[in-house]
Amino acid sequence: MKEMKTQKKITLLLLMMIPSLGLLLYWFGERWLRALLLYLSTAVWAQRLVSHTSLAWRVASRFIAGETVDEAIATARAVNAAGMSATINYLGEHVHSPQEAAYAREEIIRLLDCIHQSGVDANVSVKPSQLGLNIDPHLLYENLRIVVRRAQQTNNRIRVDMEESSTVDTTLGIYRRLRDEDGFGHHVGSVIQAYLYRSEADIAKLAAEGAWVRLCKGAYAEPPEVAFPHKADTDANFIHLVRLMLSDEARQNGMYACVATHDEAMIQATIAHAQTHQVPAESFEFQMLYGIRREMQEKIVAQGYRMRVYIPYGTAWYAYFVRRLAERPANLWFFIANFFRA
């Protein structure tokens, strides 16, 4: 009864929002709609409004394997059967207490154990703010160390996702400490975002270190002081960084490049570079998000390249889901249409 009332309120709100969103799009273009959605992805009031409705979950579940670890493992098994690897992410970010961070850490350890027992081909991606980055960087370090140790024990790997630009130095610092000082080596990896001006220098350093790196465009709202405001510049930088990661020197140092994008132009540029410079297909991989461009994932595998699918699961899906809407505003219309079809 209470949920029906909330849904009615949301429906009314959306009814009022549709013309305003249309006007926004007409006046300011997609960039502003993206900025609005990225703001909503962090707004607590919007999260409360949307995340408790079953209708919203129905649409969000297009991008999410389910709420339980068993559903994530079953999805990874299906992805493996289609010739692809997986990286599984227990959803959650920006926790407010050490207890919440410890809860996430224990769930991630359980996930590593389930991967080990089930035998699926999957590693694990984690968000720094889920393990305590915003509370105390040392708490993140301690939690990550426990998680990476379990990954090493179960012959697996942890990918440390990258969040807002203000966290890059701390995240890379902790990643290097785990990799070098604690000796976890390739059991831990990092992510670089092509929209940041600093990323060329970061990739150069990581290439010299022979690191295991995922390159993506970047999913957060960043000011022009630190990130390219125009998509064309981010795209050009992405291709430039892929070439650095696939260079003979980087590969001789042991770098393994993960090219995370759904953008056909980025994928074609990567393949063209690999073919022209005789880069073996097994020295890099493509990565895509679960629920996005499935047919392209299959096409890449059929061409003989490696593909890894990022599979999120859990109940804290709101922020992840709204970032997916921001990346492709057409998803928003799909979301609204489903609301009214229900």
Ligand X SMILES: Cc1cc2nc3c(=O)[nH]c(=O)nc-3n(C[C@H](O)[C@H](O)[C@H](O)COP(=O)(O)OP(=O)(O)OC[C@H]3O[C@@H](n4cnc5c(N)ncnc54)[C@H](O)[C@@H]3O)c2cc1C
The catalytic residue among 161, 235, 306, 308 is 161
Pick between residue 53 and residue 123 the one whose CB is nearest to ligand X: 123
220 binds ligand X (CB under 6 A): yes
240 binds ligand X (CB under 6 A): no
Question: Which listed residue (114, 143, 331, 339) binds ligand X by CB under 6 A?
Answer: 331
| 341 tagged catalytic | no
Question: Which listed residue (216, 245, 250, 300) binds ligand X by CB under 6 A?
Answer: 216
Least Å distance between CB 97 and ligand X?
23
| 161 tagged catalytic | yes
310 binds ligand X (CB under 6 A): yes
130 binds ligand X (CB under 6 A): no
Pick between residue 321 and residue 339 the one whose CB is nearest to ligand X: 321
257 binds ligand X (CB under 6 A): no
The 3-state secondary structure of the chain reads CHHHHHHHHHHHHHHHHHHHHHHHHHHHCHHHHHHHHHHHHHCHHHHHHHHCCHHHHHHHCCCCCCCCHHHHHHHHHHHHHCCCEEEEEECCCCCCCHHHHHHHHHHHHHHHHHHHHHCCCEEEEECHHHCCCCCCHHHHHHHHHHHHHHHHHCCCCEEECCCCHHHHHHHHHHHHHHHHHCCCHHHEEEEEECCECCHHHHHHHHHHCCCEEEEECCCCCCCCCCECCCHHHHHHHHHHHHHHHCCHHHHHCCCEEEEECCCHHHHHHHHHHHHHCCCCHHHEEEEEECCCCHHHHHHHHHCCCCEEEEEEECCCCHHHHHHHHHHCCHHHHHHHHHHHHC
Least Å distance between CB 4 and ligand X?
29
Binding residues (CB under 6 A) for ligand X: these are 161-162, 191, 193, 216-220, 260-263, 287-289, 292-293, 310, 324, 327-328, 331
Just list the catalytic residues.
161, 214
